[in-house]
Chains A and B, each alone.
Chain A
Amino acid sequence: MSGTHGTEKTAGPVLGTSTDTVPPEATSATGTPGDKADAIAAVTRVARAALPANGLITDPTELRTYECDGLAHYRVTPALVVLPETTEQVAAVVRACAEHGVPFVARGSGTGLSGGALPRADGILVVTSRMRAIREVRAADQRAVVEPGVINLDVTRAATPEGYYYAPDPSSQQICSVGGNLAENSGGAHCLKYGFTSNHVLGTDLVTPQGDVVQLGGLAPDAPGYDLLGTVVGSEGTLGIATTAIVRLVRLPEEVRTLLVGFRSTDDAGAATSAIISAGIVPAAIEMMDALAIEAAEAAVHCNYPDGAGAVLVIELDGAAVEVEHEYEQVERLCREHGSFEQRLAIDAAERALIWKGRKSAFAAVGRISPDYIVQDGVIPRTALPEVLRAIADLSSSSGVRVANVFHAGDGNLHPLVLFDGEKEGAGEAAEEVSGAILDLCISHGGSITGEHGVGTDKAAYMPRMFTDEDLDTMQLVRCAFDPDNISNPGKVFPTPRLCGEVPGKRKKPHPLVEAGLADAF
């Protein structure tokens, strides 16, 4: 389950059933520890030759700083970290990995919340934080060409002078990388109107798990052939490493109105949300926070949200000025009709920024009201919102586990924050249980186990609850096409690796992992 645990002491609260079903990570790189050490030494030699001297991290203490991403309770120290600066350097390292059967994991800024960038003890971590050039801002093409380590918000900063911005805006946009966004198909508040990362990445240079560089998509849409780009986006680094991204730039809207609306209850706020959408309005964003989440944000950034609110909605309308005016009137009225007791329209950029700051800091801010917490990420059809929120509240009161809710109300993407104190006996387990039950609620309402944070290490075990074996097997056909040896971020997304040996002309004898009873062959 998605979690951000502040403390080592909470490392691995027993994760209920999911713990036991997390399968072994398997790659073709099986062998004795000695073989592995040799293989890693071989890759290290290649990396040393290909990268600048300061581009390798081998010091054990330094390596430890890479042992986890934003989901800090999974920790593995990688065998080697490389900090390439060019596509060629990435390719050289990956080629060496392929040759020696060494698994590799890509990492951007390490803010992922599903353990996607969790390293392998027997593998290489390829960190893109030095590939941070914005190569081109092509306003006339409404595109930017950027390196994968470029920080999301920096794309917008670079495009703003030209009158454009990069629309997908995860709350972590001040630090998460475009490469990480691409791999996770990240969403954000404004994705309700503008779509997710997959709608905004038009091309990439991908270093395949064989170490080849292929160009997928490009400046123009509809490249002939299979839409491999569409599959790579959101594949969580399991199909190779993106070393360039061509992203769409969106024209800055003529008018933006940010409205903060206070409600007595989440029920009222949810009803207002539904009413707005049913009225045919597509706001740029509708975000909801409940009382507990408001308390945390208030403590962290003093965002001055309405006093005594049981829930707030942050609603943003943007577009042509006349349309915005019209929508604003309707939204204002609909909120009033659904019990809002305070509406505040941001009068300037500073107020707007403060409203958003409260929302965007909410996850991390929960650290201020609870020693530990789990960030959950599930999706439900929007119409099921009131029902599911009530069910979550029931879960919370029956278990005594506090749950704060922050979410993208417009598209039904919930982020319940399950609070606990890892020092207290059994608290971690209780929280995990509630967190898991919330996912089950999402599935039973026809939703998804993740709307934007990805499956990663964390939810691989949940995949079979949402998909059949056949579904998973079919997805993994793609994996087999890209990465038959299962060395690109192995162990993530899928609960059980599919062995790709049955393809005609490929491996004929049983895979060593099957023989060892470590994996299933479909």
Chain B
Amino acid sequence: MAQPTRVQSDEPQSDPRKAGAQAHGPVPIGSPTARPAFDDEHPPSAELISDCVHCGFCLPTCPTYTLWGEEMDSPRGRIDLMKAGLQGAPMTDSMVQHFDACLGCMACVTACPSGVQYDKLIEATRVQVERHHTRSPGDRAMRAAIFALFPYKRRLRALRGPLRAYQASGLPKVVRRSGLLDRLAPKLAAMEGLAPVLEKREKLPERVPAVGQRRAVVGMLTGCVQGEFFPGVNAATARVLAAEGCDVVIPRRQGCCGALSVHNGRQEEAERFARSTIDSFEAAGVDTVVVNAAGCGSSMKEYAEVLADDPAYAERARAFVAKVRDVSEYLAELGSVAPRHPLEVTIAYHDACHLGHAQGIRQQPRALLREIPGLQLKEIPEAEICCGSAGIWNVLNPEPARELGDRKARNIASTGATLLVTANPGCLMQVSSSLERQGTRMGLAHTIEVLDASIRGLPLSTLGPQ
């Protein structure tokens, strides 16, 4: 209990205006020997921080603030912590804990009337955290396992199928020993019960020709989790694009886009994935790169920042970013030509954070869905609050993630819809286990699968249990 006596100023009588200045001069608070939190290499920008006017409008949309009601686990508080870091406060465990607790859902960016670019701030901060903070052994092991598993399609494949999660012998030791599989297994099981046609894994050709007159040539990212757990989504994406007149190029050699690394401050890894993704799509010679996973799309749109310091890639990254489109964004731009068949279904549309908040894409998927005759679209209450999936966050923070997932599931159920539609594999995994826990049986589908079913005139049953 030493902390309370370590107050800023022994002079309560002093003018608070000056107290601020006194308290936060260059002398770091906390341990006087500690290093300041951030080094000079791209710390969170003081200028971006200064855009925050402390109005608090972002608080109610922040999942961690709604969970815990604490300032330091709110966007405003995290910005304050960054400011403290810039002013010389050391990177304490507690400071890191609050940065780590951020889901990166970017709801705060949407909510902020003052235009604070929290996305840039937290990403810069995470890189600093990775550089300067030593995590606990358990945390390290879990993270190592995650980053040894997710970006690798072959390893992910070992997890597919109901019981394989436990066998998973094809996985590296670091993964098997970490306890990661125990955390994933129930989610995988729940998801397999709800998501459409998980079993079927169609092999996609390298080029899918346009149906009818060709209107464009587009590249398509297959993604890791999407590709392995929701192969149907990729197949549907290719079919819909083709139906709308696109030649779809699917480079064989594409790997992970690096979304998890970008969003978790693993700078070098992120750069590596970004370079190779750029390489493969440049080689494919496409004008547009279409992405169907919200998390992947949002990180690919950030490549310019990721590779800003790489002279060989900076310019190419900027050019690449200009080509990246979420599939719904692209289809809305393109305008539809393929006729839609009716689907008599009431759906709840869930804005994946990395689509809605991070890419600002909300109207396009809704507009596409509304084009389907017979389809009724319901809005989910508290739509702006994250479902708790947030990349790897739910694996690292299972308890709060479950709370958020349950909250989301309750809101989804309240719409009375029979099919949940969203655009991110993580959300589908996360929400499915919450829905199952609460006993709500409803189908889960990606936006593009619904479009695919409508264009092909498939029955509803192909979209999972109704």
Contacts and interface: CB of A to CB of B under 8 A. Distances in A.
A130 B67 CA distance: 9
B54 A70 contact: yes
Given A6-B51, A12-B21, A74-B20, 20 more contacts: A6-B52, A6-B114, A7-B50, A37-B5, A41-B1, A44-B4, A54-B68, A61-B30, A61-B95, A65-B71, A76-B19, A121-B7, A172-B55, A172-B56, A300-B115, A301-B113, A361-B57, A361-B113, A364-B55, A364-B57
A71 B23 CA distance: 17
A229 to B, nearest CB: 26
A130 B50 contact: no
Interface string B74-105: 10110011011001010010110010000000
B55 A76 contact: no
Interface stretch (A19-27, A214-222, A257-265): A19-27
Contact of B83 (A8, A77, A361, A518): A8
Contact of A111 (B9, B19, B56): B56
B17 interface: yes
Contact of A518 (B7, B13, B115): B13
Nearest to B54: A72
B307 interface: no
Given A11-B17, A59-B92, A122-B12, A6 B50 contact: yes
A300 B92 CA distance: 35
A64 B20 contact: no
B15 interface: yes
Interface in B108-153: 112-115
Contacts of B431: none
B100 to A, nearest CB: 14
A120 interface: yes
Interface in B6-51: 6-13, 15-21, 23-24, 29-30, 50-51
Nearest to B114: A367
Q: How large is the interface on A (under 10, 10 to 19, 20 to 34, 35 or more residues)?
A: 35 or more
Interface in A1-43: 4-9, 11-12, 15, 19, 22, 24-26, 33, 36-37, 40-41
B417 interface: no
B71 to A, nearest CB: 4
12 contacts: A12-B20, A26-B13, A48-B1, A64-B84, A65-B80, A75-B23, A76-B20, A79-B5, A175-B57, A301-B113, A365-B114, A371-B50
A224 B11 CA distance: 44
Nearest to A43: B4
Contact of A65 (B5, B24, B77, B87): B77
Contacts of A371: 50
A300 B55 CA distance: 14
A383 interface: no
Contacts of A518: 13
A364 B29 contact: no
B213 to A, nearest CB: 36
B70 A129 contact: yes
B53 A41 contact: no
Contacts of A356: none
Contact of B55 (A15, A57, A111, A151): A111
B30 A172 contact: no
B59 interface: yes
Contacts of B30: 60-61
B69 A75 contact: no
A436 to B, nearest CB: 15
A73 interface: yes
A40 B1 CA distance: 11
A397 interface: no
B29 A122 contact: no
A66 interface: yes
Contacts, number: 193
B398 interface: no
B461 interface: no
Interface in A184-202: none
A26 B98 CA distance: 35
Contacts of B13: 24-26, 518
A491 B1 CA distance: 28
A144 interface: no
Interface string B391-417: 000000000000000000000000000
B72 interface: yes
Interface residues of B, number: 55
Nearest to A371: B50
A451 interface: no
B4 A80 contact: yes
B18 A70 contact: no
A113 to B, nearest CB: 9
A73 B80 contact: no
Interface in B196-243: none
Contacts of A40: 4-5, 7
B60 interface: yes
Given A11-B20, A65-B81, A74-B20, A4 B53 contact: yes
Nearest to B31: A60
Interface in A78-127: 79-80, 83, 109-111, 115, 118, 120-123, 127
Nearest to A362: B113
B4 A79 contact: yes
Contact of A8 (B50, B68, B69): B50
A62 interface: yes
Given A79-B7, A175-B56, A300-B115, A12 B81 contact: no
Given A61-B84, A65-B81, A79-B4, A129 B69 contact: yes
Nearest to B111: A174
A5 B68 CA distance: 27
A367 B113 contact: yes
Given A59-B92, A77-B7, A110-B56, A22 B80 contact: no
A149 interface: yes
Contacts of B72: 57, 61-62, 65
A287 B52 CA distance: 25
Contacts of B17: 11-12, 15, 19, 73-74
A121 B12 contact: yes
A368 interface: yes
B86 to A, nearest CB: 9
Nearest to B89: A61
A75 B20 contact: yes
Centre residue among B10, B68, B71 by max chain A CB count within 10 A: B71
Contacts of B84: 61, 64
A280 to B, nearest CB: 36
A367 B81 CA distance: 21
Contacts of B5: 37, 40-41, 79
Contacts of B89: 61, 64
B15 A19 contact: yes
A6 to B, nearest CB: 5
Contacts of A132: 69
Interface in A203-227: none
B3 A59 contact: yes
Nearest to B71: A65
Nearest to B79: A65
A238 interface: no
A67 B54 contact: no
A31 to B, nearest CB: 11
Nearest to A9: B50
A74 to B, nearest CB: 5
Contacts of B81: 61, 64-65
Task: Please list the 9 inter-chain residue pairs (A to B) with the smallest Cβ-Cβ separation, ordered nearest first.
Answer: A75-B20, A367-B114, A12-B17, A129-B69, A7-B50, A364-B113, A65-B77, A361-B113, A58-B3
Nearest to B116: A367
Contacts of A73: 17, 20
A22 B57 contact: no
B77 A6 contact: no
Contact of A25 (B1, B12, B21, B71): B12
A79 B83 CA distance: 20
Centre residue among B12, B54, B94 by max chain A CB count within 10 A: B12
Nearest to A174: B60
